[in-house]
Amino acid sequence: MSRLIVVSNRVTPPAPEGASSQGGLAMAISAALREYSGIWFGWSGQSTPQYNGQISVQRASGVTIATMDLEEQDIQEYYNGFANRTLWPLFHYRIDLTQYERSYGSGYARVNARFAEMLMPLIAPKDLIWVQDYHLIPLGRELRERGAKNAIGFFLHIPWPARELVATLPRHRQLVEAMFHYDVVGFHTEEWRDAFVSYVLHEAGGMQLSDGSLRAFGRTTRPQAFPIGIDAKGFSALTQSEAGMESYARMQESKAGRKMLLGVDRLDYSKGIEERFLAFERLLAESEELKRKIFLLQISTPTRGEVDAYQDMLARLDALSGRINGVTAEMDWIPIRSIHRIHTREELAGVYRAAEVALVTPLRDGMNLVAKEFVAAQDEEDPGVLVLSRFAGAAQQMKEALIVNPFSVEDVADAIRKALAMPLEERRSRWRALWDGVERDDIFAWRDSFVASLEAARDRTAKPRPGRIAGPRREG
């Protein structure tokens, strides 16, 4: 079996088998690497006064971890700059927050070149290379320029936006050209994949070949949808762990007979948390009878604290929950509990299980794993209801959720009312359909389908067989 090299911006050293501190993605990557005897390469998360070309290698739980440090300027321009002040907001349709600084673009190019420089000596001819996410789009090209002939794939964890948005990026063609150095480019949904194809056909003068691959910039790549999942059985089992059961029992007691609406998000403007609070306020204003009978628990963990937009959002969110509580709360009832502390995955599993309704209402989201975790954590005899934004990639798969437009406070308020009133039979049948999908399309299925596609690309390159040119595809 081929060796697999996974490259991502940050590397989270794998925890021992069964330990639960890892997120779903980190866990899947470590499992994939164990099976393929691979290497996980990326930034250590540490800064160094001066780039020294040094790599630190360690073995953890059967996986080889190779990390490098970055200079402070690299972190500012590449990570806080181009990745999180330019690409993240733009790809989430927040052109108003997007900063187009040349220094960010050059920091991004410099760090990607450094990644390639450090990675090249670790690559053997038959290795499969799998690059993760928007931080590293140019890495494939950098590796090719240094002579890598391997099968190289790229997976984008965030949406690919409409081509009119991509076109606002200075040197957008260069960024897209870089994607053509990969054999496979993966997206969560067909919608994101089609948006990429549309850019290539209409902005880059590309062609779609009869086998689905795309030709532009004198190169060919294969765009495909690979919807990511979670370790469904593993997450479900966390609800039965000691910490999971304790957190469930603690929430049940603290609910005091009230129904709990739950939001769990990284604190990010793409997640629609403020709009969710406003929808909840509207619900309480319109449905007096629900007051004192329900409350909203919002767990939002701060991230990217060095980026202004995140600091601003934290302040706005606290002001908003403070105002809503100030106006609506009673002496013995607080409508919104908003917390920013990090919880363990067991604690989260217990809290999900205790919730009657989950509010997953991002304004734009590549997939959204919280929706899937909520489903995995439910009691099948008495499951909660998922309210899900149509703008999350997850909505393409999770059609039995109550699908809402998160920009409309009325739409979300209506869905919450419907969720709270939903009969047990309907809750069970919707949950069963959702769980079947979450269990089937889990993180291991995602990993296997991507790797299979990369292996197929490698085999095609070994025996080249050009596809027929189908001509530009017209959009309906």
Instruction: Supply the residues annotated as catalytic.
Output: 157, 365
Binding track, positions 110-149, relative to ligand GDG; x by CB under 6 A: ----------------------------------------
CB of 339 to ligand GDG, least distance (A): 9
CB atoms within 10 A of CB 474: 6
Query: Which of residues 157 and 219 has its CB atom nearest to ligand GDG in the complex?
Result: 157
Contact 136, 6 (CB under 8 A): no
Phi, psi (deg, nearest 5) at residue 129: -120, 130
Does position 373 bind ligand GDG by CB under 6 A? yes
Does position 228 bind ligand GDG by CB under 6 A? yes
Residues whose CB falls within 8 Å of the CB of residue 214, separated by 6 or more in sequence, listed in order: 180, 197, 200, 206, 207, 208, 220, 221, 222, 223
Query: Which of residues 135 and 163 has its CB atom nearest to ligand GDG in the complex?
Result: 135
Residues whose CB falls within 8 Å of the CB of residue 74, separated by 6 or more in sequence, listed in order: 51, 107, 110, 111, 114
Task: Single out the residue of 10, 34, 157, 219 in contact with ligand GDG (rule: CB under 6 A).
Answer: 157
Does position 89 bind ligand GDG by CB under 6 A? no
Which candidate, 26, 111, 115, places its Cα nearest to that of 67?
115
CB of 271 to ligand GDG, least distance (A): 7
Residues whose CB falls within 8 Å of the CB of residue 320, separated by 6 or more in sequence, listed in order: 274, 277, 278
Query: Which of residues 7 and 148 has its CB atom nearest to ligand GDG in the complex?
Result: 7
Task: Name residue 412's amino acid.
Answer: V
Does position 97 bind ligand GDG by CB under 6 A? no
Does position 23 bind ligand GDG by CB under 6 A? yes
Task: Single out the residue of 90, 136, 348, 415 in contact with ligand GDG (rule: CB under 6 A).
Answer: 348
CB of 151 to ligand GDG, least distance (A): 21
Tokens (6 digits) for 140: 């494939």
Burial 339-365 (b: 16+ CB within 10 A, else e): eeeebebbbbbbbbbbbbbbbbbbbbb
Contact 386, 371 (CB under 8 A): yes
Binding track, positions 328-347, relative to ligand GDG; x by CB under 6 A: --------------xxxx--
Segment contacting ligand GDG by CB under 6 A, of 113-121, 213-221, 369-377, 431-439: 369-377
Task: Single out the residue of 84, 236, 368, 397 in contact with ligand GDG (rule: CB under 6 A).
Answer: 368
Separation CA 340–CA 321 (nearest Å): 13
CB of 401 to ligand GDG, least distance (A): 14
Task: Single out the residue of 4, 6, 7, 25 in contact with ligand GDG (rule: CB under 6 A).
Answer: 25
Binding track, positions 177-216, relative to ligand GDG; x by CB under 6 A: ----------------------------------------
Does position 370 bind ligand GDG by CB under 6 A? yes
Which candidate, 289, 299, 295, places its Cα nearest to that of 261?
295
Query: Which of residues 149 and 399 has its CB atom nearest to ligand GDG in the complex?
Result: 399
Query: Which of residues 25 and 415 has its CB atom nearest to ligand GDG in the complex?
Result: 25
Which candidate, 189, 178, 170, 122, places its Cα nearest to that of 154?
178
Cα dihedral across residues 70, 71, 77, 79: positive or negative: positive
Query: Which of residues 135 and 345 has its CB atom nearest to ligand GDG in the complex?
Result: 345
CB of 398 to ligand GDG, least distance (A): 12
CB of 100 to ligand GDG, least distance (A): 22
Beta bridge partners of 209: 469
Query: Which of residues 137 and 264 has its CB atom nearest to ligand GDG in the complex?
Result: 264
Separation CA 362–CA 239 (nearest Å): 25
Task: Single out the residue of 94, 266, 291, 337 in contact with ligand GDG (rule: CB under 6 A).
Answer: 266
Separation CA 4–CA 101 (nearest Å): 35
Task: Single out the residue of 14, 24, 38, 335 in contact with ligand GDG (rule: CB under 6 A).
Answer: 24
Residues whose CB falls within 8 Å of the CB of residue 247, separated by 6 or more in sequence, listed in order: 343, 346, 347, 348, 349, 350, 351, 354
Contact 373, 394 (CB under 8 A): no
The residue whose two tokens read 């399309």 is 441
CB of 317 to ligand GDG, least distance (A): 15
Segment contacting ligand GDG by CB under 6 A, of 19-27, 106-114, 144-152, 204-212: 19-27
Does position 301 bind ligand GDG by CB under 6 A? yes
Tokens (6 digits) for 137: 């789009």
The DSSP-derived string for 68-117 is EEEEHHHIIIIIIIIIIIIIHHHHTT-GGG----HHHHHHHHHHHHHHHH
Task: Single out the residue of 272, 366, 383, 437 in contact with ligand GDG (rule: CB under 6 A).
Answer: 366
Does position 158 bind ligand GDG by CB under 6 A? yes
Task: Single out the residue of 179, 283, 367, 412 in contact with ligand GDG (rule: CB under 6 A).
Answer: 367
Query: Which of residues 345 and 447 has its CB atom nearest to ligand GDG in the complex?
Result: 345
Which residues make up the interface to ligand GDG (CB under 6 A)?
A: 23-25, 157-158, 228, 264, 266, 299, 301, 342-345, 348, 365-370, 373
